[in-house]
């Protein structure tokens, strides 16, 4: 038997045993001069150009090389053996997807050599054919095969493909067996990915499928620390948000980029561009500029995707959609960009494009969970909740760790007021995506609807620790503090939310809801003029009257003693919703107060009416309305309130709390919804 003496260690890659790398030399196919030493001595082969390439090489070199140089080269470089030629044949057949050829030749090479390296390459042929069990049985058929690091890695990969998680973990080990012998500084001379790093990545994949995400995260981190070229592990960490933004930026500074040789700066810049956009925006912009100007990668899909992530975090859905469409124009089925693309279409009401993309994915990738996510989002956009839930559920069945589908699945329960089921699904998504603020935000909103104020605040503050710039999150924190009667803190959060929402469209439901909530804070905080300013802004921007807002304005006018204005406003509210109990009760109280008031009070009401801004129903121009904010510094003449009117309407004020004090109705939940 002929053995290949080289076997890879944990510090090597499969390039170490690749026939294409090991046989890079001149006169590649020079046949040994002694035909008796060949494995397959064919009669007449020394006279055939097909079997003897020496004559061809000799004739080609005769005119270009001096005789002495050619003879010296022949003595230095040993010609290939028949087994090495068969390995090259097998490898080229594998690269050209001639699997029958590769299997036929690979089987004969293994029979001749009994070498673990040849068992590894024959197993690769089986894996490419989808015969995972056959490959695993081959790789574990002999003790010498099992001792090989490359064979053990490949056998574990086969078990992962077969979803035999426990067996795969037994084979690859629960922890890195090379950790004590490796300080992560051993260089890989062959330029590939260390097998040790690949095994750490595989171990993380197993733990993730066992829902042990903490151990999975540690294994992925160890894989990248062992070899920075193990992008699979790095991508699992970043794309699944397994680390918080601060952890991501800290982790990237610990990597050994020297493993990438002279590509160290390029790899560092590329990895930096993929990190969370919640922090260090200046660093991201710097990396993007260098990649564009020095490496000319400005039109690369990965760089554009990082830009799309940045726009999405900033809630700039229009700009994000433009970048996503640019990527899809270059690569129609780039699955990395599809979640952002689908979310932007949902936010902007692009139902036709959602339908088209879902149809394209269903036609070409019926077994991909991203397809069923797209279909689910489309049905959610047309308010078919049951159908949407069915398709989100199918996506989670295809990939139980698909966090985007779990969030969509939870949204369908939230839309129907099924809080317990929604909380369960959001909680699982929070386990999958610990580095993003959205699952905790949605959990807080659900608990708020259930009046679990302490739990709601806990989840919202956990979300705030990750992202402090989401206007929906800031709005909900303002609502929590409003319910806890901490009006100063509520105003602070809502003013911060207004600042964060200035990039949104002026007719955004979240922007309108923030103004509404701020108006209620001012109303309860005895700042009626500021409250009226906020409510008037909402009516202008939304270009429609809202019964709850009109009722709140009627309550304020009633408390101020301006009965005529209160009656007008409350009549408008009842015209919109004739059966509204709050507006009806307030109108009754206002009429009673008006009839019992004296002449001076009525006269003062007419004067007061002239000083207050009237209700405007015309929508302002887009240029002006986009950045409208409450006129918080505007001063008004203060008139003494009628005490009996204030006492009578306290109950009605409490009843108004069921109105627009929170943005967590179903439509608003999805307004900032991310993944």
- pLDDT tens string 266-291: 999 999 999 988 888 899 999 999 99
What pLDDT score does 655 carry? Answer: 52
More confident residue, 59 or 509: 509
CATH of the domain at 35: 1.25.40
Q: How many CA atoms lie within 13 A of 648 on its CB side?
A: 21
What pLDDT score does 342 carry? Answer: 96
What pLDDT score does 366 carry? Answer: 92
pLDDT band with cut points at 50, 70 and 90 for residue 11? low
Do 165 and 198 sit in the same domain of this protein?
A: no
Q: For residue 409, is it within any domain?
A: no
Single out the residue of 191, 117, 179 nearest to residue 154, CA to CA: 117
Residue 456 pLDDT > 50: yes
Domain range for 256 is: 192-298
Q: For residue 447, is it within any domain?
A: no
Name the domain boundary from 259, 276, 298: 298
Do 234 and 126 sit in the same domain of this protein?
A: no
What pLDDT score does 594 carry? Answer: 80
What pLDDT score does 182 carry? Answer: 56
Do 55 and 166 sit in the same domain of this protein?
A: yes
More confident residue, 22 or 248: 248
Single out the residue of 496, 430, 501, 435 nearest to residue 466, CA to CA: 435
Name the domain boundary from 172, 207, 227: 172
Do 37 and 156 sit in the same domain of this protein?
A: yes
33-63 burial, b at 16+ Cβ within 10 Å, e below that, comes to: eeeeeeeeeeeeeeeeeeebbbeebeeebee
Do 132 and 216 sit in the same domain of this protein?
A: no
Name the domain boundary from 265, 298, 331: 298
Q: Of 113-127, 446-460, 545-559, where does mean pLDDT reach its minimum?
A: 545-559
Supply the pTM of this predicted model. 0.74
Q: For residue 588, is it within any domain?
A: yes
Taken in order 524, 526, 530, 535, is the CA torsion positive or negative? positive
d(Cα 151, Cα 530) in Å, to the nearest integer? 73
Do 28 and 164 sit in the same domain of this protein?
A: yes
Q: Is 437 left (phi over 0), alpha (psi -120 to 50) or beta?
A: alpha
Q: What is the 3-state secondary structure (H, E, C) of 161-217?
A: HCCCHHHHHHHHCCCCCCCCCCCCCCCCCCCCCCHHHHHHHHHHHHHHHCCCHHHHH
Q: For residue 143, is it within any domain?
A: yes
What pLDDT score does 60 carry? Answer: 41
Residue 675 pLDDT > 80: no
What pLDDT score does 73 carry? Answer: 41
Q: For residue 148, is it within any domain?
A: yes
Q: Is 283 left (phi over 0), alpha (psi -120 to 50) or beta?
A: alpha
pLDDT band with cut points at 50, 70 and 90 for residue 67? very low
Q: For residue 161, is it within any domain?
A: yes
Do 166 and 229 sit in the same domain of this protein?
A: no
pLDDT band with cut points at 50, 70 and 90 for residue 401? confident
Q: Of 389-393, 450-454, 495-499, 540-544, where does mean pLDDT reach its minimum?
A: 540-544
What pLDDT score does 15 carry? Answer: 64
pLDDT band with cut points at 50, 70 and 90 for residue 188? confident
More confident residue, 72 or 367: 367
Residue range 663-674: mean pLDDT, rounded: 35
- pLDDT tens string 562-606: 888 989 999 888 988 888 888 899 888 888 888 876 433 444 344
Residue with tokens 């964060």: 500
Do 200 and 254 sit in the same domain of this protein?
A: yes
Residue 619 pLDDT > 70: no
Q: For residue 554, is it within any domain?
A: yes
Do 30 and 162 sit in the same domain of this protein?
A: yes
Contact by Cβ (8 Å): 195, 8: yes
Do 538 and 586 sit in the same domain of this protein?
A: yes
Q: For residue 377, is it within any domain?
A: no
pLDDT band with cut points at 50, 70 and 90 for residue 131? very high
What mean pLDDT, rounded, does the chain reach? 80
Residues 6+ apart with CB under 8 A from 146: 139, 140, 152, 155
pLDDT band with cut points at 50, 70 and 90 for residue 77? low
Do 28 and 167 sit in the same domain of this protein?
A: yes
What pLDDT score does 537 carry? Answer: 86
How many structural domains is the chain composed of? 3
Do 157 and 208 sit in the same domain of this protein?
A: no
């Amino acid at each position: 038997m002929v053995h290949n003496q080289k076997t890879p260690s944990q510090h090597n890659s499969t390039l170490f045993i690749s026939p294409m790398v090991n046989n890079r030399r001149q006169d590649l196919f020079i046949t040994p001069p002694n035909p008796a030493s060949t494995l397959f001595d064919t009669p007449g082969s020394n006279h055939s150009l097909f079997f003897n390439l020496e004559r061809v090489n000799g004739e080609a070199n005769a005119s270009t090389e001096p005789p002495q140089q050619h003879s010296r080269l022949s003595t230095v470089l040993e010609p290939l053996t028949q087994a090495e030629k068969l390995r090259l044949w097998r490898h080229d057949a594998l690269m050209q997807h001639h699997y029958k050829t590769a299997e036929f030749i690979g089987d004969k090479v293994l029979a001749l050599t009994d070498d673990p390296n040849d068992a590894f390459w024959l197993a690769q042929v089986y894996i490419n054919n989808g015969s995972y069990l056959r490959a695993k049985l081959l790789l574990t058929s002999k003790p010498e095969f099992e001792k090989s690091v490359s064979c053990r890695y490949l056998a574990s990969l086969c078990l992962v493909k077969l979803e035999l998680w426990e067996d795969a973990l037994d084979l690859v080990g629960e922890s890195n067996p090379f950790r004590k012998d490796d300080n992560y500084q051993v260089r890989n001379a062959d330029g590939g990915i260390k097998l040790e790093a690949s095994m750490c990545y595989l171990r993380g994949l197993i733990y993730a499928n066992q829902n042990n995400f903490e151990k999975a995260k540690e294994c992925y981190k160890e894989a990248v620390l062992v070899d920075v070229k193990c992008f699979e592990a790095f991508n699992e960490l970043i794309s699944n948000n397994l680390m918080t933004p601060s952890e991501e930026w800290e982790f990237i500074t610990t990597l050994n980029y020297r493993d990438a040789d002279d590509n160290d700066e390029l790899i560092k810049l590329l990895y930096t561009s993929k990190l969370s956009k919640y922090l260090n925006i200046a660093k991201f912009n710097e990396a993007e500029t260098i990649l564009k100007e020095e490496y000319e990668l400005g039109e690369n899909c990965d760089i554009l995707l990082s830009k799309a992530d940045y726009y999405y975090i900033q809630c700039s859905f229009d700009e994000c959609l433009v970048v996503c469409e640019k990527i899809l124009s270059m690569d129609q089925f780039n699955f990395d960009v599809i979640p952002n693309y689908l979310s932007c279409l949902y936010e902007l009401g692009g139902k036709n494009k959602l339908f088209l993309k879902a149809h394209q994915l269903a036609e070409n990738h019926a077994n991909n969970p991203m397809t069923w996510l797209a279909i689910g989002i489309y049905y959610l956009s047309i308010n078919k909740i049951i159908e949407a839930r069915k398709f989100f559920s199918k996506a989670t069945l295809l990939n139980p760790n698909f966090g985007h589908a779990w969030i969509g699945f939870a949204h369908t329960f939230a839309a129907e007021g099924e809080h317990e089921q929604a909380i369960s699904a959001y909680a699982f998504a929070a386990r999958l995506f610990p580095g993003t603020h959205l699952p905790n935000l949605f959990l807080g909103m659900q608990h708020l609807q259930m009046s679990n104020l302490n739990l709601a605040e806990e989840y919202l503050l956990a979300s705030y620790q990750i992202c402090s710039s989401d206007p929906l999150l800031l709005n909900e924190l303002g609502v929590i503090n409003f319910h806890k009667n901490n009006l100063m803190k509520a105003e602070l959060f809502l003013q911060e939310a207004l600042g964060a929402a200035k990039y949104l469209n002026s007719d955004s439901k979240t922007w309108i809801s923030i103004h509404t909530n701020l108006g209620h804070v001012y109303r309860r905080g005895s700042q009626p003029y500021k409250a009226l300013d906020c409510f008037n802004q909402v009516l202008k921007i939304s270009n429609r009257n809202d019964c709850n807002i009109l009722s709140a304005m009627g309550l304020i006018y009633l408390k101020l003693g301006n009965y005529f204005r209160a009656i007008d406003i409350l009549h408008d509210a009842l015209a919109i919703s004739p059966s509204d109990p709050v507006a009806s009760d307030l109108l009754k109280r206002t009429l009673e107060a008006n009839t019992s008031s004296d002449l001076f009070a009525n006269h003062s009401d007419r004067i007061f009416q002239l000083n207050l801004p009237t209700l405007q129903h015309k929508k302002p121009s887009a240029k002006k309305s986009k950045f409208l904010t409450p006129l918080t510094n505007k001063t008004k003449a203060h008139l003494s309130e009628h005490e009996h009117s204030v006492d009578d309407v306290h109950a009605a004020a409490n009843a108004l709390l069921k109105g627009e004090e929170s943005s967590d109705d179903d439509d608003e939940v999805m307004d900032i919804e991310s993944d």
